[in-house]
Structure 1
């Protein structure tokens, strides 16, 4: 696999080896031993999630203030613009973000460690977004930051208008007032 650090060193783009021919392709989407070597520690995943969304849907920026989740994310069908924002106040990259296009064609994955807010915007007609988490979903501890917060200045791709948001994401906090990690 090929591993590319982003502008935030803990966030990694992972490209598995893809073996393809006229019949299709094969790839190993996860290997515990190889993943632990990449991140430099043992990471235990406890939950797998699968989300299907239409073009223009934006989910996030989400994180859990307690029971923080690391996420290994990928797209099985379609394409998304995937974003991680550092919400660790003691970090030198606090408030910075990285964004990567993940698609069924490029097979890229992104490792988003605990301590980061995460979001994705669907670029294709539909997208099947899959992710592994290091802790269980805990709705009481979930927090959301506004996707369009001017202080973060995330440069979202144009999807032909404003993104479609859930009620929770429409009411998300400003970055300046959001509860963050120490």
Structure 2
């Protein structure tokens, strides 16, 4: 597993070693020991989620507040998405900054988004299946969001009119 640091400390890209032959491919998609060595602490994943979306769908920006803050290890098992993490830790030097990574069934990359970050993704392919592990359970009471096109964050999504859920349309901007 190749671990790549991003511009924001703590947000990591995981690139698995893929073994291809005439039968197809094999890869280790997750290894707890390698993962914990890369992030520098013990992480216990408690929930796996799976979504399917069509081109132009933007899900996010989502996060949960304490005591249900979530770290997420995300990947795309069919199609391609542009995946974004936004630092919302008020005491962080990178507060309000974002990092975006294309992840796909072809490149097999995964993105680790620690607690204290908002997360969202835009579907680039005709369809995409997105799966992720979370370090805490879903809690509607602790769920929060930031509007996808917040001018203070200024994410370069590459789309003007994404397909959004009603909930994602009404999020407010990041309070600085």
TM-score interval, smaller chain: over 0.9
Per-residue deviation, residues 128-157 of structure 1 (Å, max 9, x unmatched): 000000000001110010000111000013
What is the aligned partner in structure 2 of residue 36 from structure 1? 36
Tell me the CA shift for residue 115 of structure 1: 0.3
Per-residue deviation, residues 32-75 of structure 1 (Å, max 9, x unmatched): 11111111111100000001001000000000012100000000
Judge conservation of contact 1:16–1:108 (CA < 8 Å) in 2: yes
Q: Distance in 2 between matches of 1:176 and 1:49?
A: 28
> What's the secondary structure of 2:175's corresponding residue?
helix
What is the aligned partner in structure 1 of residue 123 from structure 2? 122
What is the aligned partner in structure 2 of residue 167 from structure 1? 166
When the two chains are superposed, the root-mean-square deviation of aligned CA atoms in Å is 1.0
Tell me the CA shift for residue 96 of structure 1: 0.2
Q: Distance in 2 between matches of 1:86 and 1:25?
A: 35
Residue correspondences, number: 175
Q: Gapped runs of 5+ residues in structure 1?
A: 178-182
What is the aligned partner in structure 2 of residue 107 from structure 1? 108
| TM-score, normalised with respect to structure 1 | 0.94
Q: Distance in 2 between matches of 1:82 and 1:4?
A: 15
What is the aligned partner in structure 1 of residue 3 from structure 2? 3
| TM-score, normalised with respect to structure 2 | 0.97
Residues 62-141 of structure 1 aligned to structure 2 (within 5 Å): 62-66=62-66, 67-141=68-142
Q: Gapped runs of 5+ residues in structure 2?
A: none
